[in-house]
Amino acid sequence: MDETKVLDQTTNRPRILVVDDDTWFLFGISEALKKKGFEVITANNGVTAVMKARSEKPDFIILDVNMPKLNGLNVKKILNYDLNTKNIPTIFLTGLNDRNVMLYGLSIADDCISKPFDIDLLIMRLWAVFRRMNMGYKMGLQTLDSRTISKASFPRILKHVDVKT
C-alpha cells in the first residue's frame, strides 16, 4: 500500500525530529520518512532531542518513549514547559505494551503508537494531526506563538497536508 501522499521535493518540506535510542530503528524510520518527502532531523537520546527541538524548531516530533536517562515522556514534559516548543505536534512511539503509558502519552502529546508499526499508518497519523491543526487554525482555536509553528510557516506546511482519499 503506497497511497500516502509523497511531497514535492522542490518545495519546503515539513521538518520532523525523530528521536530513538536504537540506531537501526532511527535510521530505518528516517529513511522511510525521507522517501515520503519529509525533511528529517534525528536525535538518539532525550537530552539531544530537547536541544534539537529548541534549536532546529521542527514542524513535528516523533519521539520514542523508552530511552535511558531522559525518556520520551520527560522530554515532552520539558518541551511543553517551553513557550518555543510546547505546541510542536508530537507522536510517541513505544515498544511498551502498557495501558497507563499509552494514556499518559496521549495526555501530553498528539498520538501514541505501539511498536512495531506500519510506516504508512504513521504517516497517515502525521497528516491527521496536521489536518486537526489546520481545522483549529481556521476556527481560531490554534494558538500560534513565537515559533511553535509560525503564521508564516503554517500555510507552507499545510499545502502539503491535504491528503485526498
Q: Per-residue pLDDT tens for 36-57?
A: 889 999 999 999 999 999 999 9
Instruction: Say whether pLDDT at 149 is over 60.
Output: no
pTM: 0.76
pLDDT of residue 60: 94
Instruction: Say whether pLDDT at 119 is over 80.
Output: yes
- Range among 63-77, 110-124, 136-150 with highest mean pLDDT value: 63-77
Q: What is the 8-class DSSP label of residue 153?
A: H
Question: Alpha carbon of 90 to those of 10, 108, 111: distances in Å?
Answer: 25, 9, 7
Candidate from 73-77, 83-87, 116-120 with smallest mean pLDDT: 116-120
List the strands of the sheet with 90-94, edge to edge: 39-43, 15-19, 60-64, 90-94, 111-114
pLDDT of residue 126: 86
Domain residue ranges in the chain: 15-158
Question: Could you give the CA distance from residue 88 to residue 57 in angstroms, rounded to a whole number?
Answer: 8
**Topology (CATH level 3) of domain 15-158:** Rossmann fold (3.40.50)
Q: What is the 8-class DSSP label of residue 73?
A: H
Query: What does the block give as the cell for 25?
Result: 530503528
Instruction: Say whether pLDDT at 23 is over 80.
Output: yes
> How much of the chain exceeds pLDDT 70, in percent?
73
H-state helical runs in 5-152: 23-35, 46-56, 72-80, 99-108, 119-139
- Strands 60-64 and 15-19 turn out to be parallel
Query: What does the block give as the cell for 15?
Result: 521538518
pLDDT of residue 61: 97
